[in-house]
Each structure stands twice: as C-alpha cells, then as structure tokens.
C-alpha cells in the first residue's frame, strides 16, 4: 500500500505545472536526488519511530482520562458527534475534534517524552535583565515547565480546555520542539494519537484504580515509574 501511495503521488506531481510547495515527500520526489527505494525506506522508518514514541504518550493519555471521568465524557461526546456527522471521512473528522487534539497537548504537557529542549542562541538575547551571549546552549526543562503554576494555572489538573481558551498558548506546547528543527514526524505522531483516542473513546470506557498513583522516572526518556494498569 505504501508503494502504491508513493507511486500515485509521484505520478500526480509529474503532471502538475505549478511550483506550489506541497510537503517534504513531494519535494524529495520532484528533486529526484534521492532514490525512490531510499525514500520508501525512510517513510517506513518514520512510521515505525512514530509508533514507538506515541505509545508512551497514549498510555499516559488513557491514564489521565481514567482519572478524570468528566473530561473523558466530554471527549467521548465530541467523538460521538464527529463520527455521526462525518462517518468514515477521517480527514474532516480530525478537523472537528478540537478537544481530543487538546487532550494530546495536555498529556504532553504533563508527561513529555523528552526531558529537555535544547537550542544554541544565534544572537545576543536579553530576557528579564539577563544577557544570554550568542552561541550559548539554552535548555528548557519540559517536565518542569509543564508543571510550573506561573505558566499553567493548577498545573497538576488534567484540563485539555486550557489549550482552547483565549489565553495565548504560544511557545507553551514544546513536546515536539519548534521551528525548522522540530520533530520531523510530528504530524504523523499527532494523527496516530488522535485516531487511536477516537477509536478507544468510541468503543470503551477507560478506568483505573484511582488509589494507585503512577510517577514519572527517567530512563533515556521519561517513562512511568511502574506499569500503568487500565481497565477498558
């Protein structure tokens, strides 16, 4: 199926006369500087990497939804309405589930996969009277930032709605990085997680022993301190 899809995209692109940018895959195919077999192998590797990294976030998402029955029901209502309206039209459905998308962001706020985000400054920068010289390695502690009450009111509360209000969330959701060096598989990962949650919420109620707290520990990436046991 992947081979047929890529060949179909390639055939359609060769017939186009405009030069409008339509994505990384299109650019690679049109430049003809990378063999098609290498492109297919890279796409396969990208999809496999997406499954590996999103599985941890999805565990945390279901854990938080199980501990927040009211939130779970609001998400289920949104999913039910979207599936009734758009059926198997997944492209349109995914555009109409803002609370599900916000739940993924909220999960990554509380449970980021990476512990820090790193960048070298390209010019001298002054932040609150602190001078950061050009070329300085700056690290943002994603786990600490996500639980900082100065940035996120009531940070321990799982509240996807905080991403949907009028308060600016600019540069607050950094789980995938930002700019040209953000995770190349971000959109694939987000879509995988959104579709997974849609299917789960359509068919199951998620529950957990609320007396059993699961903490975060570091093991190359941030992971649960013990297995997350859920009842569907």
pLDDT in tens, 165-213: 888 898 899 999 888 788 878 888 899 999 999 999 999 999 998 777 8
Give whole-number Cα distances, 5 to 10, 184, 186, in Å. Answer: 9, 20, 20
Percent of the chain with pLDDT over 90: 55
Q: How many angstroms separate the first and last alpha carbons of the chain?
A: 31
Question: pLDDT for 55-100, tens place per residue?
Answer: 899 999 999 999 999 999 999 999 999 999 998 899 999 999 999 9
pLDDT beyond 90 at 228: yes
How would residue 52 be classed by pLDDT, with cut points 50, 70 and 90? low
Identify the three-state secondary structure at position 82.
Answer: helix
pLDDT beyond 70 at 143: yes
Amino acid 210: pLDDT: 75
Residues 6+ positions from 26 with CB-CB distance below 8 Å: 9, 13
Contact 201, 56 (CB under 8 A): no
pLDDT beyond 70 at 112: yes
Amino acid 217: pLDDT: 93
- Please, which residues bridge with residue 209 across strands? none
Which tokens belong to 209?
């022993």
35-231 CATH: 1.10.630.10
How would residue 3 be classed by pLDDT, with cut points 50, 70 and 90? confident
Instruction: Measure the CA–CA gap between 107 and 65, rounded to whole angstroms.
Output: 10
pLDDT beyond 70 at 15: yes
**Domain residue extents for the chain:** 35-231
Instruction: Measure the CA–CA gap between 94 and 101, rounded to whole angstroms.
Output: 9
Instruction: Measure the CA–CA gap between 195 and 88, rounded to whole angstroms.
Output: 12
Which tokens belong to 94?
């995914």
């Amino acid at each position: 199926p992947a081979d047929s899809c890529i060949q179909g995209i390639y055939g359609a692109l060769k017939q186009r006369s405009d030069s409008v940018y339509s994505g990384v895959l299109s650019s690679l195919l049109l430049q003809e500087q990378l063999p098609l077999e290498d492109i297919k192998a890279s796409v396969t590797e990208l999809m496999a990497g997406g499954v590996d990294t999103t599985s941890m976030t999805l565990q945390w998402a279901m854990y938080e939804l199980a501990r927040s029955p009211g939130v779970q029901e609001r998400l289920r209502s949104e999913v039910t309405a979207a599936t009734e309206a758009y059926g198997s039209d997944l492209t349109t459905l995914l555009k109409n589930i803002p609370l599900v998308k916000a739940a993924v962001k909220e999960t990554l706020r509380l449970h980021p996969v990476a512990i820090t985000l790193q960048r070298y400054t390209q010019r001298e920068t002054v932040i609150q009277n602190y001078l950061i010289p050009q070329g300085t390695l700056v690290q943002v502690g994603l786990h600490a930032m996500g639980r900082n009450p100065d940035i996120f009111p009531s940070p321990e509360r799982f509240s996807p709605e905080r991403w949907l209000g009028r308060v600016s969330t600019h540069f607050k959701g950094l789980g995938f990085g930002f700019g040209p060096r953000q995770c190349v598989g971000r959109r694939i990962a987000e879509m995988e997680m959104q579709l997974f949650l849609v299917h789960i919420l359509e068919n199951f109620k998620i529950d957990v022993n609320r007396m059993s707290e699961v903490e975060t520990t570091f093991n190359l990436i941030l992971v649960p301190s013990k297995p997350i046991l859920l009842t569907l």
